[in-house]
Each structure stands twice: as structure tokens, then as C-alpha cells.
Amino acid sequence: MTAEDFGGPEYEGCNEYLVHTKPSAVEQVHQGFLEAGADVIETDTFGGTSIVLAEYDLADQAYYLNKRATEIAKKMATEYSTPEKPRFVAGSMGPGTKLPTLGHIDFDTLRDASAEQAEGLYDGGADLFIIETCQDVLQIKSALNAVEEVFEKKGKRLPLMVSITMETMGTMLVGTEISAALSILEPYNIDILGLNCATGPEQMKEHIKYLSEHSPFIISCIPNAGLP
């Protein structure tokens, strides 16, 4: 990818902007997953809140970019869907770059930005939501509150998945253990709770085992291939 693909040097590295400047590149990534047999593909919106997009002076494009990204993913999923093997689109909501527990941002500001993102994903046609690579329980709670606001506004719920990242030291980035995270999230209306990113599958085993023994939710596991 070149700077021109991103719309100029000032936007280079903003993958979320590619849905506007070079949608064919995003479609190609989706195509690779679909041809490999994926049942669910994620939208190109991991850093799609206005807070993250502001780093590229694109904060005012947050709703549009999330909606557009979902439309692109939905188009590709529809093309590959069959009655025997339907394909689905998960609206991706990443952790952002500011953690409320560490005082980087206040809860309400983060929730409002997440609600704007969630509405774009919903309006674009997402089949489910994934709040992923979660590093801070306050960030998770703000995103969950935001998504619930959108569900209430739209009058229809979608399946909701939360995916936590456990670091090599055995806790979330801000020090929360898996048992504490589960206790905090158990009252929420979540469909799937699991782990992703950070470490390879070997380091996830104990955390997944704990969830299998204590969690009331469906469990997911999306490991990296390993650490670089």
C-alpha cells in the first residue's frame, strides 16, 4: 500500500480510511477470508471511533466510515453466502488508544464516541457486534453502554460479543485478572465472551479453561499465531 492509497501522506496508516479511498483493497482482504471458508468477517473499523480518527483529522467522518465499512463487508458476505453456508458480518469495535482506567479519557466521552461508531455499524447492516481486544474493563463497560443505547434507539438487538486481551503477565493491560473481568461483565446482556490477540493459543489455555468452568456465556477464542 502507498500513501496515495490512503488518500495522501497525512492519512497513511489509517486503515479505516481505506473504505473511502481504496475500497477494493478492503474487499480483497474480505475475499481472502471468505474464500478460506470464514463464516464471519469483521468490518474494517477496529480504530473507527472519532477519538482514534481524530489523530488523522477525520473525527467528523466516524459515522460515515463505519457505515461504509459495514456496507462493503456486507456486500462481500452476501456474494459468498449460500443457503447451506450463510456468511455474516461482525461490526468491529476496538479498544481505541485512550484507556479510562489510566485517566486518558473520561467515561462519558468514550461512551459517546462508541455510540456514534455503533450506530454506523448498525446502519451499515452488521449482523453482530464484537467489542474486541479489550484492555480495560471501563472501556468495555462504556462500549457496552453505547451499544445498548443504539439497540434501544433502533428497536432491535443484535448478537453481542466481547473479546478480552490478556497480556503475557496473565492479566489485562491495566492489571485485571480474568476472574475479575468475568465478575464485572456477568450482569451484562452479552452473548459471547472470550479472548483474542496479545498471545498465542498456548498462553490462552488457562484463561479459556477458567471461562469454560465459570462463564455463563458462549466462549470464543481468537488467538494470534504468536508474538512477533
Residue positions in the annotated binding site for Zn(2+)? 197
Distance CA 163, CA 133 (A): 6
- C-alpha dihedral (68, 9, 13, 139), degrees to nearest 10: -80
Q: How far apart are the first and last CA of the chain?
A: 21
Q: Dig out the grid coordinates for 80 from the structure.
A: 459468498
C-alpha distances (whole Å) from 87 to each of 84, 120, 158, 170 are 10, 20, 15, 34
Binding residues: 197
Distance CA 208, CA 66 (A): 31
Q: Dig out the grid coordinates for 210 from the structure.
A: 477458567
